[in-house]
Amino acid sequence: MIIFGTRGVNSTMEQGHFNCPQCEAQKPYKHKKVTRFFTLYFIPLIPLGKIGEFVECQQCRGTFIPNVLKYQKDSSADAFLSQYEIAMKHCMVLIMLADGIIDDDEMLMVQKIVNKFGHNDVTLDELAAYVDEVQKNPEDVSTYLKKISPSLNEHGKEIIIKCAYSVAASDGHVDDTEVAVINEMAQVMEMSSSHLKGIIADMNENNEPSFSQN
């Protein structure tokens, strides 16, 4: 008697690390597909087509729909971007407030920077409302910067310092109080003082070309 039938066989399409919803941590996963095979004496011989796909956590062995990967990549990028945007806006407003005077040029510079590096454009009115908010509740410069700092490379940190310096310089002079805030920002991002000095010397030499108003 010939014993035949069909059976689903799993094969790994892709693997990597993902944020497992069940473990609530970064864990290795395997993205598997299930193919139906024609079997002869229980041996899968002929693939008959794909039945489905799933993602399996290699830690807890929990299985999830493939979208679990897509959703995670998108949401972590989005989360970082919005954190970055908040940190950038908050830092620039603190710099603007550092000398106690809110200059029109400073407002325009902050708006320009926030809109250049964020993905939600702010109007001057919205920015003014945010400045009010920060004035009433001036959180430490580290509050938001600390959250994004570990994800920033040297270039990313330099951009923030350069932007801050552009805001400080936009009213024609950089005050000690503004320098103090910039120093604090550099400290939060764990930049060395020589690195910071180098960036500022660079900007003075080149008359801050990247962010000057033209």
C-beta of 57 vs 169, nearer to Zn ion:
57
C-beta of 15 vs 59, nearer to Zn ion:
59
Least Cβ distance, residue 176 to Zn ion (angstroms): 52
C-beta of 21 vs 198, nearer to Zn ion:
21
Least Cβ distance, residue 32 to Zn ion (angstroms): 15
End-to-end alpha carbon distance in the chain? 87
Least Cβ distance, residue 52 to Zn ion (angstroms): 20
| Collapsed DSSP state (helix, strand, coil) of residue 13 | strand
**Residues forming the site for Zn ion (CB under 5 A):** 20, 22-23, 27, 57, 59-60, 62
Least Cβ distance, residue 56 to Zn ion (angstroms): 9
C-beta of 61 vs 155, nearer to Zn ion:
61
DSSP 8-state symbol, 9: E
Is residue 163 a contact partner of residue 113, using CB atoms and an 8 Å limit? yes
Half-sphere exposure of 137 (CA within 13 A, CB side): 4
b/e string for 139-152 if b means 16 or more Cβ within 10 A?
Answer: eebbebbeebbeeb
